[in-house]
Amino acid sequence: MNPRPADEAAIEAAAAELAAGRLVAFPTETVYGLGGDAASAEAVAAIYRLKGRPADHPLIVHVSGAEQARKWARWNDAAQRLAEAFWPGPLTLILERQAEAPGWACGGQATIGLRSPSHPVARALLAAFERLGGSGVAAPSANRFGRVSPTRASHVIDDLGDEAPLVLDGGACGVGVESTIVDLSRGRPVLLRPGGLDAARIEAVLGVPLGAADAAAPRASGTLEAHYAPRTPLELVPAGVIAARLGELAARGIRAVVWSRSRPGRGEAAWEPAEAGSEAYARALYDTLRRLDRAGFDRILIERPPDGGDWAAVADRLRRAAVGAPARD
């Protein structure tokens, strides 16, 4: 049976799969991950192959905590402070890789991304893998590269089909968008990707503002311009012009569905009500995108969310999804 309920026996079986060099899919608080032994060249290569991911696009290595992280990276004071404040949780730290640590998951870079997830299934899997001698699980999202991330076990099966490895079903992910990524490898901390942890909370712990990514920043997971994309063309539209845009599309025979906080002026339009708060919206984001993508419309119109603060991660994912979706006619 796949997916398999994430009970103790299933978690032990999944850890054995990892120890044997095979892949498993498992829930984290952010999205479901496609995991393999980060110390195994063959296992990491299998992740890239199954996802169809470019070889120079790094993965995130999941660890149980700071003790395991030190085996992989050159730890520093900023990393320690952030780990004490936010691990386990939706925060990935980019650090210089230890010279003796395997670099298979690093996309050819001297830096490595590390995260300690808080989901109880992920934590139990990491602990079971450690008991078998493992030290870290490389795990991007468990979907085809560039597509909508999975937040339910069924999403993993939908994407990977018969190629899916053992999938641990731990229910819907509680955060719903990927981790926040902070680069600590170059002195001043830099925000590489907004995510499940608000940047303002990170800045409060560090006592300095996070810099913006520049051309010299390390490559990091999920930061390509086109990503998280449905197969249906997608537009981000300000709330005040949704009705007019629907009229334009209808005049051309283009059937659209709208995801917005209030019903659009054209009462006959297909409408999906959007969550008002950023956290609830983030939890619903990928599941809703998948449902709308399967609904058979020609276009998905989404009310443009606020850009800053609590909405930064949602705005980032929707912007990249709009870029990555098929070109509009």
- Residue spans of alpha helices (H) in the chain: 8-19, 41-51, 66-72, 77-86, 120-131, 153-160, 199-206, 242-251, 278-294, 312-324
Domains delineated in the chain:
4-212 (3.90.870.10), 234-324 (3.40.50.11030)
Q: How far apart are CA 323 and CA 329, in angstroms?
A: 14
pLDDT of residue 329: 65
Residues 6+ apart with CB under 8 A from 329: 233, 254
Q: How far apart are CA 31 and CA 328, in angstroms?
A: 28
Q: Is the pTM of this model over 0.85?
A: yes
Phi-psi region of 279 (alpha: psi -120 to 50; beta: other; left: phi over 0): alpha
193 forms bridges with which residues in the sheet? Answer: 181
Per DSSP, which regions of 128-228 are E strands?
137-138, 166-169, 180-183, 190-193, 211-212
pLDDT tens for each residue of 116-136: 999 999 999 999 999 999 999
Q: Taking 70 as the threshold, does the pLDDT of residue 20 lie above it?
A: yes
- The helix/strand count (H/E) of the chain reads as 10, 15
The two three-digit tokens of residue 165, written as one number: 């490895």
Q: What percent of the chain has pLDDT above 90?
A: 92
